[in-house]
Copies of this chain bind each other. A is one copy, B any other.
Amino acid sequence: MPEPGWIDEIFDGVRYGLEGTVVAEEQSAFQRVSIIESKRYGKGLLLDGCWMTAEGQERHYHESLVHPALCGAEAIDRVLVIGGGDGGTARECLRHGSVQELHMVEIDGLVVDWSKQHLPSLGGGCWTDPRFQLSVGDGIAWAAAAADASYNVVIVDGSDPAGPAEGLFNRAFFENCRRILKPGGVFATQSESPEAFRQVHIDTVKLLREVFGYADPMYGWVPMYPSGWWSWTFAATDGARYRQVQADRAAAIAAGCEIWSPRWQRGAFDAIPAFMERALNQ
C-alpha cells in the first residue's frame, strides 16, 4: 500500500491536487486507469493522470450534462450515451421515468469494472436497470453505424480531445450524431474549459452550430478539471430547445438534484463571459 500523499493533475503551470492514496492503478488497452481514495472527496478516478470524477463532487458535472438535454428534447424514449464509463451520466438519465432504453457505449471495459467496484455511488442503480444496455466498444463507430433518426437524445461524456477521446470533437462524428437524432432531439457534450482550453471550446461550439443549426454553451464548475471553470454544449436542429425546460420532467427530478434546477440552468446558459460572447459571434 503506498503512503498517503498528493495526487496532482498538472496543466500549463497550474496544479490541482487531492490528498490521498492510489488504491488501484493499471494500464488498460487505451489508457492508464487510477482509482484513488481522497480525504476531501472520497474515491476518485483518473485517466492518464487527468482527474475524471470523485464521489464527493460529481454532481455538478453529471447533472449539468444530462438535465438540459433530457428536459428539453421533445421525447426521451431512446437515449445514447457515448463514454460515461463511471456510470454517473447513465444514473442521472435513468432518473427520468420516460426513458425507455438507454444505450451506453464505453470504449474501456476496465473503467466500467473499476467504477462498479470502487465507485458504486456513481452508477447507483444504473448497472442493473432493465432499461440500461452497456456495450464496451467504440462510440464513434457506434454513431456511424446507427440507423438514421434512432435516438431522441445523444450525450457525449468523454475526456479531453487527446487519446481515445480525440475523435469525439470533429465534424464527421458530430454529423453522425445529428443524423441519428430523431426530430425534436437534443445533442449534449462536455465542451472543455472556457479558460484552460479556450480555443478547443470556441471551435467546438462553432462547429456544433454549423452542423446542427443551434448550439449553445452552458457554464459551471468542476474543481478537479483544469481551471475549475467548465462547460457543456447542447445542440438541436429545430431551435434552442435545450434551453426550454419541460415542467413535468423538471418537477419529477428537482428534489433529487444538488445543483440543477430550472433557474440554475437558465443562469448557467446566461453566464457566458463577455469575451466568449464576442469570440463566438465573430
Nearest B residue to A257 by beta-carbon distance?
B274
Nearest B residue to A196 by beta-carbon distance?
B223
Chain A 192-210: CB-based contact to B (< 8 A → 1; otherwise 0): 0001000000000000000
Bound-complex Cα distance A257 to B269 (A): 19
A159 interface residue per 8 A CB criterion: no
- Near B by CB (< 8 A), chain A positions 26-50 give 38-41
A14 interface residue per 8 A CB criterion: yes
Chain A 256-282: CB-based contact to B (< 8 A → 1; otherwise 0): 011111011011111111110100000
Q: Which residues of chain B are near A267, meaning CB under 8 Å?
A: 219, 266-272
| Shortest Cβ gap from A61 to chain B (Å) | 13
A248 interface residue per 8 A CB criterion: no
Q: Which of B12, B229, B257, B273 contacts A258 (CB 8 A)?
A: B273
Q: Interface stretch among A17-25, A80-88, A111-119, A130-138? A: A17-25
Report, as a range, how many residues of chain A touch the other chain. 35 or more
Q: Which residues of chain B are near A275, meaning CB under 8 Å?
A: 258-259
| Shortest Cβ gap from A14 to chain B (Å) | 5
Nearest B residue to A272 by beta-carbon distance?
B264
Q: Which residues of chain B are near A220, meaning CB under 8 Å?
A: 271
A228 interface residue per 8 A CB criterion: yes
| Shortest Cβ gap from A275 to chain B (Å) | 5
| B264 pairs with A270, CB closer than 8 A | yes
| Shortest Cβ gap from A89 to chain B (Å) | 18
A residues contacting B by CB (< 8 A) are 6, 8, 12-20, 38-41, 57, 60, 195, 219-221, 223, 227-229, 254, 257-261, 263-264, 266-275, 277
Using A14-B16, A221-B228, A267-B271 as known contacts, list a sample of 11 further A-B pairs with CB atoms less than 8 Å apart, ordered by residue number in A.
A12-B39, A13-B38, A14-B18, A223-B227, A264-B272, A264-B273, A264-B274, A264-B277, A266-B267, A267-B268, A268-B271
